[in-house]
Amino acid sequence: MILKIEKIGLSLKIEDKLLNKLLEIGKTHYPKEFGGFLIGYYSEDNKHLHITDTILPKKYQASKYSFERSTKGIENELAEFYAENPRKIYIGEWHTHPDNSPIPSATDISAINTIISRKNTSIVNPVLLIIGYSKTTVDFGFYVWFENKLYKYEK
């Protein structure tokens, strides 16, 4: 699947197999929130992103309305992706919103700003995938923080 933000010239590619995997992982944790790290690579001009993998947290706390993950224990997996060709890096986060829509909350936006402000994170435009579940439907949204504004990728 390829999604775009025409206004700012960005595109995102994710294989259906990976997206379906994330949807299934999220479902297994319902009715609590769950999430993980998104891994991928950018084109040389940083306009095109290919999301290729996820890393699930080893330690986390979750409830129906919150999800906090730790980075402890994922260093080796990150190093393996970094050694691949093309070099894959941490490009953002994904998490679920049980019984809610896939729209970023104030907490989600605050978390994006925290990611940007960390000195040890070399990601300028973090991506956020939110998966919203209800009893009968599943929906998702990909977002990017670009030049101090949140944009949604569209089909």
The pLDDT tens digits for 21-32 are 999 999 999 999
The tokens of 32 are what?
A: 């609590």
CA distance 114 to 108: 10
CA distance 39 to 30: 23
Structural domain including 33 reads 2-152
Taking the CB of residue 128, how many other CB atoms lie within 10 A of it?
A: 24
Most confident of 2-6, 72-76, 81-85: 2-6
CA contacts within 13 A on the Cβ side of 57: 19
The pLDDT tens digits for 117-142 are 776 766 768 999 999 998 788 999 99
- The CATH number for 86's domain is 3.40.140.10
In whole angstroms, what separates CA 90 from the centre of its chain? 9
Structural domains in the chain (count): 1
Confidence band, pLDDT 50/70/90 cuts, at residue 43: very high
CA distance 107 to 102: 13
